[in-house]
Structure 1
Amino acid sequence: MSRPLLRVENLQTRFDTDHGIVDAVNGVSFTVDQGEIVGILGESGSGKSVTARSICRLEDPGEIVGGSITFADRELTTATEATLRQLRGNKVSMVFQDPTESLNPVFPVGEQIAESVRIHQSSETQRLLDFLGVSPFRDRSAWKNAREHAIGLLDQVGIPNPEANVSSFPHEFSGGLRQRAVLAIALASEPALLVADEPTTALDTTTQADILSRLRSLRDEQNTGILLISHDVGVIAQTCDRVVVLYDGEVMEAGPVERILTAPEHPYTRALLSCSVRNSDADEQAQSVMARLGDPSSSHEGCPFADRCQHVTEACRSGSVPTTEDTSDHRLACLEAPFSEDKFVSEQQEIPAANGGQQNDTA
């Protein structure tokens, strides 16, 4: 059996704030294989983005205080900064949530993509002036080739008329085109692992569907492993092979997408789906997930979802909650499941499409 491309085991990332210690990620474990798209699903504040940034070792001002992150048999939690620079953006790329913050407003988009191409092609021998892109001093032939590569990447991610738009500035692009440009920069080095943090936020439905299609094509054509962060059940349903459901920095449920979204067993997963799935009890069920979030700086025992759970017992509030796993690679952290109710989603009910109905970013 082949080893996974990425293995995260018992990851713990902590923030030291003026209000105390915040355990943003508290024992998260999952894997991503080559050619697989794994989704991380949860409300705002559940630890999704911190998990993604920790994998890329961009957790600062947070600190990884426990666990392991293994990429291609390399342990990243103890890796040197030099090793991380070789991997980050080269073998592991990240698409951040806000493309406006990822693009430099004073340089053309094509120049920024070409710069990424050049850095990862010759990072060890490139001169400082070449890194800075100072025109009179840089290798014109190499930059011409990088510019042509940038045009190809713009075309690959679906930016129209790439030969002309390669000279456009970020402010001349719409939000959807900026997100595509950021994706092109991430793909410049042909990474083995792509971490995409909410890549479709604030995009219209058509643009969102196209971005997700590009990610699936990347998986199919280049065998890239993708970690997709989202609060949108529809995005996860359309795109991912497996999903990890996070709450308060802990894994509540994980497994194949079809299994999780058609027969969820954890009360939190069921509450999340009730915000998107239209059924007669949706309004009542949604109230359980709309309750006030707990104080992230306060320590707790037992299940972190206990205060918002309709099925809570005293045993849920004390001690540790064991994680069970079956032969279908389904993991569950709940003392009371399975429940006596029928399947949460009937076999006739379709998995919700992206943005199909109310989004469930309830925090």
Structure 2
Amino acid sequence: MSDPLLRVEDLHTRFDTDRGTVHAVDGVSLTVDRGEVVGVLGESGSGKSVTARSICRLEDPGRIVSGSIAFDGTELTTADESTVQRIRGNDVSMVFQDPTETLNPVFPIGEQIAEAVRIHETEDRQGLLDFLGLPPFRDQTAWESARERAVELMDRMDIPNPESRSSAFPHEFSGGLRQRAVLAVALASEPELLIADEPTTALDTTTQADILGRLRSLSDDRDIGVLLISHDLGVIAQTCDRVVVMYGGRVMEAGPVERILTAPEHPYTRALLECSVRNSSRDERVRSLDGRPPDSVGGHEGCPFADRCRHATATCREGPILMTERAADHRLACPEAPLFAAQASSRGQEAPMVDGGRQHDTE
């Protein structure tokens, strides 16, 4: 069996604050294969985005204190800056949550996509010129080629009239078109791994489904590995092959989407499903999870979910909580899960759909 495209093992990322050290990522392990979409699911503040930024080595002002991030055989935690810069943006691209913060408001969309194309195509040559202290690389033919490539990428993302719209500014695009433009920028380098951090936030349902469909197609058609971060169960259910459930900077449960979303074994995963609007009937009040997310200052001795879990015991609070293999490709960090897993399996869940309905077997 070949090695995964991305392997993260026991990753710890911390931030130093006036209140103490925040353990934002506290021992996360995950893998992404080529042609696979892996979802990262959890509440706000669970460490999803910091994990993604750490993989791209954009954790500053945080710091990676231990762990491994191996991309296609290259260890990124110990790689020199030139190696990281070569991989980041070329082989690994990231789509951030808010496209208005990614796109420069004073430059046309087409120019920004063309700039991404030009940078990646001339990176090696420009690096040599910088080393020699020579002026920046300028080639009109290269610029024209980059602009043509930008229009092609806009067309691939189904941006209407890409030739004329390439001269439009970000504020002239709708939210959905801006997100498509950001995807075009990320794909300019033909990456092997795409990290998408909440790529459908604040988009309408139809546009959301279209963006997610494009991510799925990129993975299937071009064999790109995709790490999709979301707090939306429907997004994960529709798009991903596997899912990693995070809470308090740790992985609570991980495995195939169908298994995790229909027969979850960790109390936190079950709580997420129970609190979902998609899993509530029309006349049923949506449930909420009692308590507050944990304070990550100083880290946790035991399970970070223990104070909000009705099944918690002294073992859960004292720790350490080990990740165990429950079944094929199914990992779980809960010492008490075997006591109530049968109950969860017998009740089951319906996998939520992105359009607000539920996924039903049509056979």
TM-score, with length taken from structure 2 = 0.91
Which residue does 1:214 correspond to in 2? 214
> Compared with structure 1, are the counterparts of its residues 5 and 106 closer, same or farther at alpha carbon in structure 2 (3 Å cutoff)?
same
Distance 1:122 1:264, change over 3 A: same
Shift of 1:292: 1.5
Q: Tell me, what secondary structure is at the counterpart of 2:279? A: coil
> How much does 1:350 deviate?
3.7
For the structure 1 residues 73 and 342, does the alpha-carbon distance in structure 2 shift closer, same or farther, using more than 3 Å as the test? closer
Compute the displacement of 1:238 (Å). 0.4
- 1:279-324 CA-to-partner distances (Å, cap 9, x unmatched) read 47x978933x242122221433111100000111112111211211
C-alpha distance 271-168 of structure 1, shift in aligned 2 (>3 A): same
Amino acid of the structure 2 residue aligned with 1:95:
V
Aligned-partner Cα distance in 2 for 1:272–1:292: 14
The answer to whether the 8 A contact 2:41-2:48 is kept is: yes
- Please say if residues 264 and 270 of structure 2, whose CA atoms lie closer than 8 Å, have aligned partners that are also in contact: yes
Deviation at 1:327, TM superposition (A): 4.0
Distance 2:262 2:350 in 1: 9
Give the partner amino acid of 1:14: R
Residues 246 and 252, structure 1, Cα contact 8 Å, conserved in 2:
yes
2:273, 2:279 within 8 Å by CA — same for their partners in 1?
A: no
Contact 1:39 1:236 in 2 (8 A): yes
Matched, 1:157 2:134: no
Among the aligned pairs, what percent are the same residue? 69
Q: Do the aligned residues in 1 keep the contact of 2:280 with 2:286 (CA within 8 Å)?
A: no
The reply to whether residue 172 of structure 1 matches residue 172 of structure 2 is: yes
Distance 1:285 1:200, change over 3 A: closer
Q: State whether residues 261 and 351 of structure 1, in contact with CA within 8 Å, keep that contact through their aligned partners in structure 2.
A: yes
Instruction: Give 2:345's aligned residue.
Output: 343
Deviation track 1:89-124 (CA, whole Å, cap 9, x = no partner) reads 000000001111111111110001011111111112
Query: Hey, what does 1:118 align to over in structure 2?
Result: 118
Is this contact kept in 2: 1:37–1:227, CA < 8 A?
Answer: yes
**Runs of 5+ consecutive residues of structure 1 not aligned to the other structure:** 129-133, 358-363
* Partner SS for 1:286: coil
Name 2:42's counterpart in structure 1.
Answer: 42
| Partner Cα separation in structure 1 for residue 208 and residue 330 of structure 2 | 28
SS in structure 2 opposite 1:243?
strand
Q: Distance in 2 between matches of 1:201 and 1:330?
A: 28
Match for residue 360 of structure 1? none
Q: Deviations over 1:230-272 (max 9, x none)?
A: 0001000000000000000000000000000000000000011
Q: Equivalents in 2 of 1:65, 1:141: separation in Å?
A: 45
Q: CA 1:342 to 1:100, structure 2 compared with 1: closer, same or farther past 3 Å?
A: closer
For 1:73, the equivalent position in structure 2 comes to: 73
Distance 1:318 1:285, change over 3 A: farther
Farther off after superposition, 185-194 or 333-342: 333-342
CA distance in 2, matches of 1:310, 1:160: 52
Whether the aligned pair in 2 keeps the contact of 1:37 and 1:225 (CA below 8 Å) is yes
The aligned residue for residue 131 of structure 1 is none
AA aligned to 2:3 is R
The aligned amino acid for 1:116 is A
Partner Cα distance (1:300, 1:192) in 2? 35
Question: Which residue of structure 2 lines up, in the alignment, with residue 270 of structure 1?
Answer: 270
Equivalent in the alignment of 2:133 = none
User: 1:55 and 2:55 equivalent?
Assistant: yes
1:238·1:354 contact (CA, 8 Å) conserved in 2? yes
Structure 2 residue runs of 5 or longer lacking an equivalent are 131-135, 358-363
Matched, 1:107 2:126: no
In structure 2, the partner of 1:352 is: 352
How far 1:343 moved relative to its partner? 2.5
The answer to whether the aligner puts 1:82 opposite 2:87 as a matched pair is no
Structure 1 residues 321 and 190: alpha-carbon distance in aligned structure 2, compared to 1, 3 A threshold: same
Residue 361 of structure 1 is matched in structure 2 by none
SS at match of 1:343: helix
AA partner of residue 79 (structure 1): A
Quote the offset at 1:219 in angstroms.
0.6
Distance 1:37 1:332, change over 3 A: same
Please give the alpha-carbon distance, in whole angstroms, between the structure 1 residues aligned to 2:234 and 2:344.
22
AA partner of residue 55 (structure 1):
I
Cα distance in 1 between the residues matched to 2:38 and 2:294: 27
Contact 1:272–1:286 (8 Å) recurs in 2: no
User: Deviation of residue 225 (structure 1)?
Assistant: 0.3
Q: Are the equivalent residues in 2 in contact too, given 1:252–1:332 (CA < 8 A)? A: yes
1:166-245 alignment, distance < 5 Å: 166-245=166-245
Kept in 2, the 8 Å contact 1:271–1:286? The answer is no
| TM-score normalised by L of structure 1 | 0.91
CA distance in 2, matches of 1:322, 1:187: 38
Report the AA paired with residue 38 of structure 1. Answer: V
| Aligned mates of 2:116, 2:296 — CA distance in 1 | 37
Given that 1:271 and 1:285 are in contact with CA atoms closer than 8 Å, whether structure 2 keeps it comes out as no
Paired amino acid for 1:271: A
Q: SS of the residue aligned with 1:293?
A: coil
- Cα distance in 2 for partners of 1:113, 1:341 equals 52
Indicate the SS of the match to 2:345.
coil
- Structure 1 equivalent of residue 361 of structure 2: none
